[in-house]
Amino acid sequence: MSATTTSTPGSTRRLTAKGEATRARIVDAASSLVFAHGVTRTGVEDIQREAGVSASQLYHYFGDKQTLMRAVIAHQTEAVLAAQRPELDSLDTFEALLRWRDRLVTLQRSRHCVGGCPIGSIAAEVADEDPQARADLVAGFEQWEAPLRSGLATMRDRGLLRPDTDTDRLALALLAALQGGLLLTQTRRTTVPLEAALDSMIELIRAYAA
């Protein structure tokens, strides 16, 4: 395989296939530890041990923990979106919204409601501490909100929702309900809050049915 470049943080230099694999192993390990314990509790040494790399290898790829955490945010954003596919990419019918809702609830149930949202929990921890991480999290949430917006806009354009429906506002409220539902689900160890939050927002969207 030829050397590749990516635009994700900490990998602006060209990497060999082996280098890409090592870099990915570090990001995977760091993401797992951050999901389980949070950013602050995850030490660089823990990540080295989990990834099976030396301090100099980790430094070679990421320079500092902050740069690695940016890569973790990018990785977890991708993972969060991937876990909602294929539904997330075509939320353009009421049936699709319900399938997406079921996927989210099932995922939390399979995790025994532990961990909350992989990027929401990072946001709660670092948004006020690290302006660059906050900017990355804003971009991550935007990647999540965009398919919600476009799905609802498609429903409106197809005549499933009334022409005057403010689909952008509903999409943002849906993401907020999802985030709050995940946090309460993590705290209470039951999917009831997530279900109540998503079902209520979907019910509101239904109230705009044409």
Residues in touch with a second copy (CB under 8 A) = 36-38, 40-41, 114-116, 120-121, 123-125, 127-129, 134, 137-138, 141, 169-170, 172-173, 175-184, 186-189, 192-194, 196-197, 199-201, 203-204, 207
Please give the DSSP secondary-structure letter assigned to residue 14. -
CB closer to a second copy out of 79 and 127: 127
- The number of helices, as runs of H, and strands, as runs of E, in the chain is 9, 0
Task: State which residue, 157 or 168, has the beta carbon closest to a second copy.
Answer: 168
Q: Which residues pair with 161 in a beta bridge?
A: 209
Q: Are 87 and 100 in contact (CB under 8 A)?
A: yes
| Phi, psi (deg, nearest 5) at residue 90 | -150, 60
Give the span between the Cα atoms of 146 and 168, in whole angstroms: 9
Looking at the Cβ atoms of 21 and 36, the one nearer to a second copy is 36
DSSP, collapsed to helix, strand or coil, labels residue 15 as strand
SS3 83: coil
Q: Which is nearer to a second copy, 43 or 52 (CB)?
A: 43
Q: Which is nearer to a second copy, 18 or 112 (CB)?
A: 112
- Residue 82 burial by CB count (10 A; 0-12/13-18/19+): exposed, middle or buried? exposed
